[in-house]
């Protein structure tokens, strides 16, 4: 009996580190295959920059999955917030600008994009928490709504010619460290403090683990559920701002498919689809594992079509092991 418990605890600890083991293993594999060429500072820096925006989406959907939810609207909500941000950052002399002839202070695009993301989050959260819609369906609907709004707002045109101050948000750096990496570190830290050290963060795990027990324990399940989608929405708003700033434009293809990348990343990072399990470090490792796979395959000259294929299998394998691990309790 005792050894059984020890074994199961041991297994749990081992599985906590599988994400790390996978990540380090991939790094080693890649450095062997490329004789160390893939792991120069410049390449790693590029990898970190490329994955930074996705990190925000992953942190948001990671929290949602901890409460046993899901969010399919990420890609188009980020696309919408990127377009909103870009529209307030266009050069005033650009003739096809949405607000041609007007210039806004730098905080306007940021606040507008974060507000748009937050509103979408509240909308999703309200439908799921109070309307009792399944998260899959609610966010499937809002995904299409976000896409429609983006097309209407931009008239399906590219929102380009962004001013340099706005572009500097993402493109600048502090010494050798790119701004984007600093933002990611700050965001991850805040989400970590929230999940680990606040009452509501703890409640998210409880709701995902057993919502009925959470209710009996006095947790306001509906309000907390709505808030998790709201917080995720704010993160998508930031992601949109940073993405527009990094690319110097936004269009209807911006952030396409980001929901799948983010969900795949946090799943690989050990956030369980069964709810109630997941850590910020896991989410971040998941993002960079997926990034490493992409980057490694590109570096090795694997055709991008095959990359898509490999990514699909990785997601399936990750969820398969996740389900095996947690399905036993039923």
Partner 1 sequence: MSATYALEMESITKVFPGVRALDDVTLRVKPGTVHALMGENGAGKSTLMKCLFGIYKEDGGTIKLNGEVCHFKDSHDALKRGVSMIHQELSNVPERSVAQNLYLGREPLKSFGIIDHKKMNEDTANLLKRLEIDIKPERRIGSLSISMQQTCEIAKAVSYNSKVVVMDEPTSSLTDNEVAHLFKIIRQLREQNVAIVYISHKMEEIFAIADEVSVMRDGKMIGTYLTEELTNDKLISLMVGRDANLRFPAVSSAIGDVLLKVENLCSPNPRSFQDVSFELRRGEILGIGGLVGAQRTELMEAIFGVRTTSAGKISLKGEEISSMSPRKAIEHGMGMITEDRRGSGIFPLMNISSNTSIASLREYLSKLGLLKHKELKQASVRYNEALRTKTPTMETLIQNLSGGNQQKVIISRWLMTLPDILIMDEPTRGIDVGAKFEIYQIMSQLAQQGKAIIMVSSEMPELIGMSHRVMVLCSGRCTGILDKSECSQENIMRLATKFM
* Binding flag, residue 199, partner 1 (CB under 8 A): yes
* Binding flag, residue 215, partner 1 (CB under 8 A): yes
Stretch that binds partner 1, among 57-65, 72-80, 139-147, 271-279 (CB under 8 A): 271-279
Closer residue to partner 1 in complex, CB, 16/91: 16
Stretch that binds partner 1, among 128-136, 157-165, 196-204, 303-311 (CB under 8 A): 196-204
Nearest Cα to Cα of residue 283 among 209, 207, 184:
184
DSSP tally for the chain: helices H, then strands E:
13, 2
Shortest Cβ 225–partner 1 spacing (Å): 15
Residue 173, phi then psi, degrees to nearest 5:
-150, 155
Beta-bridged to residue 178, according to DSSP, are 173
* Binding flag, residue 190, partner 1 (CB under 8 A): no
* Binding flag, residue 235, partner 1 (CB under 8 A): no
- Residues counted in the chain: 330
- Kindly tell me which residue out of 182, 209, 256, 314 binds partner 1, with binding defined by CB under 8 A: 209
Closer residue to partner 1 in complex, CB, 9/93: 9
Within 10 Å of residue 211's Cβ, how many Cβ atoms? 18
Residue 174, phi then psi, degrees to nearest 5:
-105, 105
* Binding flag, residue 327, partner 1 (CB under 8 A): no
* Binding flag, residue 91, partner 1 (CB under 8 A): no
Stretch that binds partner 1, among 121-129, 237-245, 269-277, 309-317 (CB under 8 A): 269-277
Stretch that binds partner 1, among 75-83, 125-133, 207-215, 311-319 (CB under 8 A): 207-215
Q: CA–CA separation, 129 vs 269, rounded Å? A: 26
* Binding flag, residue 329, partner 1 (CB under 8 A): yes
* Binding flag, residue 175, partner 1 (CB under 8 A): no
Cα distances (angstroms) measured from residue 187 to each of 93, 114, 123: 34, 14, 23
Q: CA–CA separation, 88 vs 153, rounded Å? A: 12
Per the structure block, which two tokens stand in for 41?
Answer: 């500072």
* Binding flag, residue 323, partner 1 (CB under 8 A): no
Residue 97, phi then psi, degrees to nearest 5:
-65, 150
Closer residue to partner 1 in complex, CB, 165/198: 198
- Kindly tell me which residue out of 10, 12, 130, 257 binds partner 1, with binding defined by CB under 8 A: 12
Closer residue to partner 1 in complex, CB, 254/272: 272
Closer residue to partner 1 in complex, CB, 139/267: 267
Q: Which helix (H) or strand (E) holds 5?
A: helix 2-33
* Binding flag, residue 227, partner 1 (CB under 8 A): no
Q: CA–CA separation, 25 vs 293, rounded Å? A: 11
> Nearest 5°: CA angle at 85, between 241 and 173?
40
The residue with tokens 């969010």 is 71
* Binding flag, residue 210, partner 1 (CB under 8 A): yes
- Kindly tell me which residue out of 96, 102, 164, 198 binds partner 1, with binding defined by CB under 8 A: 198
Nearest Cα to Cα of residue 183 among 120, 247, 222, 235:
235
Closer residue to partner 1 in complex, CB, 19/272: 272
CB 181 within 8 A of CB 56: no
Per the structure block, which two tokens stand in for 246?
Answer: 């990094």
In sequence order, the 6+-apart residues with CB closer than 8 A to the CB of 216 are none
* Binding flag, residue 326, partner 1 (CB under 8 A): yes
# chain residues binding partner 1, by CB under 8 A: 30
User: Which residues of this chain interact with partner 1, rule CB under 8 A?
Assistant: 2, 5-6, 8-9, 12, 193, 197-199, 202-203, 205-206, 209-210, 212-220, 272, 276-277, 326, 329
């Amino acid at each position: 009996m005792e050894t059984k418990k020890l074994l199961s605890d041991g297994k749990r600890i081992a599985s906590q580190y599988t994400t790390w083991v996978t990540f380090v293993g991939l790094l080693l594999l890649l450095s062997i295959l490329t004789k160390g060429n893939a792991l120069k500072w410049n390449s790693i820096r590029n990898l970190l920059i490329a994955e930074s925006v996705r990190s925000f989406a992953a942190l948001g959907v990671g929290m949602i999955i901890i409460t046993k939810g899901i969010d399919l609207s990420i890609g188009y909500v980020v696309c919408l917030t990127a377009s909103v941000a870009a529209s307030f950052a266009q050069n005033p002399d650009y003739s096809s600008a949405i607000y041609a002839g007007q210039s806004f202070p730098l905080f306007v695009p940021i606040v507008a994009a974060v507000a748009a993301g937050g509103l979408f989050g509240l909308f999703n959260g309200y439908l799921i928490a109070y309307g009792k819609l399944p998260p899959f369906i609610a966010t499937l609907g809002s995904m299409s709504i976000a896409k429609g709004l983006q097309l209407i707002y931009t008239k399906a045109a590219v929102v380009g010619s962004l001013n340099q101050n706005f572009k500097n948000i993402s493109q600048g750096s502090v010494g050798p460290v790119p701004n984007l990496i600093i933002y990611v570190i700050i965001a991850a830290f805040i989400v970590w403090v929230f999940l680990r050290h606040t009452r509501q963060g703890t409640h998210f795990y409880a709701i995902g683990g057993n919502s009925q027990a959470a209710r009996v324990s006095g947790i306001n399940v509906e309000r907390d559920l709505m808030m998790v989608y709201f917080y995720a929405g704010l993160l998508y708003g930031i992601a949109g701002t940073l993405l527009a700033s990094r690319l110097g434009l936004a269009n209807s293809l911006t952030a396409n498919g980001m929901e799948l990348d983010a969900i795949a990343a946090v799943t690989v990072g050990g956030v369980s689809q069964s709810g109630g399990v997941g850590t910020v470090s896991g989410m971040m490792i998941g993002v960079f594992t997926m990034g490493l796979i992409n980057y490694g395959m590109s570096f090795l000259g694997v055709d991008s079509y095959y990359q898509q294929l490999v990514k699909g299998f990785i997601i399936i394998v990750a969820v398969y092991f996740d389900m095996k691990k947690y399905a036993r309790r039923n």
